[in-house]
Amino acid sequence: MKTILPGQTIGIIGGGQLGRMMGLAAKEAGFRIAVLDPVMDSPCGQIADIRIVAPYNDEAALEELGEVSDVITYEFENIDYEGLKRLTQIAHVPQGAELVRITQNRINEKAEITASGAPVANYVAAQTFEELASQIAEVGFPCIVKTAFGGYDGKGQVKIDSEKDLHEAESLFTHSACIAEAFVPFTKEISVIIQRNAEGQSYCLPIAENIHKHHILHESIVPARVHENVLARAEEAAMKIADHLNLIGTLAVEMFVLENDEIIINELAPRPHNSGHYSIEACSISQFHQHIRAVCGWPLRKPKLWAPSIMVNVLGEHITPLSKAVKDHPDWSIHLYGKAEAKEKRKMGHITIMTDNIEETLEEIEATSIWS
């Protein structure tokens, strides 16, 4: 396992908030940060030592990042796979390119999760709408049709309740091939963030329960309010997937919990995840510090939860009411990502609250009316 040490440079593809929080964690230990992003003043660019301003798939810019960096990581999966693959031949990219190839395409992702032995919803993959129509009986209704490429926060998917509504999915195929999966009548959504180094040492962060509003993550509650059996099953499934994929770095595994406490894997993200932000304050090691350890070839630390926690996302429309509320909440840890424009629904930051009483704190959050 190649070890990267403080003073050396970590290159990050992508300058968003995840890159920023990775970079901040790395800088604590004295690493230098280089970032590739199309925007000079990106959230990560603001804290980086070296900024390469170019599109993510710009070959010369990727090469330049390789030249100035001792190790390269990425903060999002929708980067150009071919570009990343080329970079693995000329620079140290311990995570490789394969995990990006798999997770940027839902068809590949489902196939790999299935091959790992972890459970997924019944699904079919289709290149064309006609192919979908001919196979949909295998999945039944209601179902969700999702584009294979490029969907996030509920974009690029439609719920279909019956055969006569299937035409509503037709326009998705102008974007890419699709999958159709059975609608899962879940009781809760949870996520396991698993991190692994090149020696196969791996740890899961305490499992988060995720509450979405308008398809965007609103709150993560840790520990998830589910039976212990669910936590054990969820960790076991995440471990299976991480081992199957020979994970190095971070994998977020989003799951549905069913009424009978069984779990179904929804999707994967090969990077630190919004539902793990609570770990910055609430754990003995944050997802960002652990990610840096994993890609720098350091031994990992077993995460320990200091206190039950709630993370709440701050979107553009929450910035003004939040600023007014700051003075009343010394117990809120406030993280803003340095984005200039507070557009509606744009993720601008998050807050984390450690608490002895989750239910009471949830009520207090509601009572502020910042998020209502």
Residues within the interface to ligand AMP (CB under 6 A)? 121, 144, 151, 154, 181, 183-184, 189, 212, 215, 254, 266-267
Q: How far is the CB of 184 from ligand AMP (least distance, A)?
A: 4
Nearer to ligand AMP, 117 or 154 (CB): 154
Q: How far is the CB of 121 from ligand AMP (least distance, A)?
A: 5
Residues in a beta bridge with 159: 144
Q: Return all residues near 73 (Cβ < 8 A) that are at least 6 apart.
A: 10, 11, 12, 13, 22, 93, 94, 95, 249, 291, 295
Nearer to ligand AMP, 70 or 181 (CB): 181
Q: Is 8 exposed, middle or buried (0-12, 13-18, 19+ CB in 10 A)?
A: middle
Backbone angles phi, psi at 13, to 5 degrees: -90, 115
Nearer to ligand AMP, 29 or 211 (CB): 211
Nearer to ligand AMP, 265 or 292 (CB): 265
Report whether 280 contacts 220 (CB < 8 A): no
Q: How far is the CB of 72 from ligand AMP (least distance, A)?
A: 27
Nearer to ligand AMP, 80 or 189 (CB): 189
**CB nearest ligand AMP: which residue?**
184
Q: How far is the CB of 158 from ligand AMP (least distance, A)?
A: 11
Report whether 325 contacts 40 (CB < 8 A): no
- DSSP 3-state assignment of 301? coil
Closest alpha carbon to 281 in 227, 372, 354, 210: 354
Report whether 173 contacts 156 (CB < 8 A): no
Q: How far is the CB of 252 from ligand AMP (least distance, A)?
A: 11
Instruction: Report the C-alpha gap between 192 and 206 in whole angstroms.
Output: 7
Q: How far is the CB of 196 from ligand AMP (least distance, A)?
A: 22
Nearer to ligand AMP, 44 or 252 (CB): 252
